[in-house]
Amino acid sequence: MENLLTSPPKPLSFGERERQCEELFMERGPFFHLCTPGDATLTLFENAEDFRYGMNLVALCTHLKPTVNIITFELMGSHLHIVGEGTVEAAGNWFREERRRLYRFYQSTGRVRDLSAFQPKIIPVSDLSFLRNTIAYVNRNGYLVHPDSTPFSYPWGANRFYFNPDAKFRQNGKYGDLTYDEKRRLFRSNTIDYPATHAIVDGYISPPAFCDLVLGEGVFRDARHYFSLVSRSVEGYRDIARLIGHQVFCTDDELYLIVRQICKDKYGTSRPDTLPPDLKRELTMTLHYDYKAGIPQIRRMLRVEESAVRAILGK
């Protein structure tokens, strides 16, 4: 008699999981990374209400421009990041819709915005490793700037929903439950044609409703693989930052690890405070020009007076 008790499926090996990721990447695409200038003086989102509108705007534009499949995104105060599936042309059309409606939003709130600097850089993502690193780079962007956030708590993007089932299923209702006026206020528009089944959370359309998280998570072997990339040193993302024209930004923790490694490799010690003045001067220049560290951050790393850092940098 056949045994009715079945054993759990044998877990896939590392190689099998990697092949699944490669096959998924080859079956789908093309992929792109759309970003706007991160060093612009333009402030896109000033407060929580602005950010909520920004979240809803990404959802609406994705509905109106279905040739773009959003994999992940993150809104920052002065710029935005989108990782998606679609052609460069489709990504450009998506952005023009976003920009047009954002300009109208400012007008409706009585604010004047010059959006001439709000232009996209759209970079084709041509291999699996680059796609993985780009998703991780975008999903960790908010916490690098906001020290009280993590990639799993920063609220303005799809980042906190990755490999997080509790966040994916949490909702405060559905779009179809809203009244006509509530729908108009949500999008700040007469356009209210939007899927009724899409969940709402914290005042905006929940990203899992319109982002392809199955695809985004599927290019990683598992949650541990994703977490290792999101948690890696900023060193691993310098090439992406340079490619899109953004400055490399390090948290104090990341910069401290970099400082210790530089000291160990170049000076034979892991303690930067023990370096002689000439080597501290050299390290100050390296941190400022190679890692974009500011004067206060260099002072904290090397435990020197601010006046000494300013004298070295001529500022």
Per-residue pLDDT of the chain in tens (315 residues, 90 and over written 9): 445 556 667 788 888 999 999 999 999 989 999 998 876 567 889 999 999 999 999 999 999 999 999 999 999 988 899 999 999 999 999 999 999 999 999 988 888 888 888 889 999 999 999 999 899 989 988 877 777 888 888 999 999 999 999 999 999 999 999 999 999 999 998 878 999 999 999 999 999 999 999 999 999 999 999 998 888 755 555 555 555 555 556 667 667 778 888 888 888 887 888 888 888 889 888 888 777 777 888 888 888 888 888 888 887
Per-residue pLDDT reduced to its tens digit, 211-236:
999 999 999 999 999 998 888 755 55
| pLDDT reported for residue 131 | 94
CB 62 within 8 A of CB 94: yes
> What count of other Cβ atoms lies within 10 Å of the Cβ of residue 247?
10
What 3-state class would DSSP assign to 91? helix
* Percent residues over pLDDT 90 in the chain: 51
| pLDDT reported for residue 40 | 55
Burial track 183-199 (b if 16+ CB lie within 10 A, e otherwise): beebbbbeeeebeeebb
> What count of other Cβ atoms lies within 10 Å of the Cβ of residue 121?
13
| pLDDT reported for residue 1 | 44
Q: For the chain, what is the radius of gyration of the CA atoms?
A: 23
| pLDDT reported for residue 247 | 54
CB 187 within 8 A of CB 198: no
DSSP 162: T
User: H-type helices in 37-110, by residue range?
Assistant: 48-64, 88-108
| pLDDT reported for residue 5 | 59
27, HSE (Cβ side, Cα atoms, 13 Å): 9
What 3-state class would DSSP assign to 199? strand
Parallel/antiparallel/unpaired status of strands 69-75 and 80-85: antiparallel
DSSP 157: B
User: H-type helices in the chain, by residue range?
Assistant: 14-27, 48-64, 88-108, 128-139, 141-145, 165-169, 180-187, 213-218, 223-230, 238-244, 252-262, 277-290, 295-302, 306-313
Beta bridge partners of 84: 32, 70
Question: Edge-to-edge strand order for the sheet containing 173-174?
Answer: 173-174, 199-201, 204-205
**Residue 307, Cβ density class (10 Å: 0-12 exposed, 13-18 middle, ≥19 buried):** exposed
Which CATH code fits 14-244? 3.30.70.1290
CB 204 within 8 A of CB 170: no
| pLDDT reported for residue 6 | 64
Cα–Cα distance for residue pair 67/87, rounded to 1 Å: 8
124's enclosing H/E stretch is: strand 121-125
DSSP 161: G
Taking Cα atoms as reference points, which of 199, 194, 210, 205 lies closest to residue 169?
A: 199
CB 70 within 8 A of CB 62: yes
> What count of other Cβ atoms lies within 10 Å of the Cβ of residue 30?
14
| Residue ranges with strand state E in 12-58 | 31-35
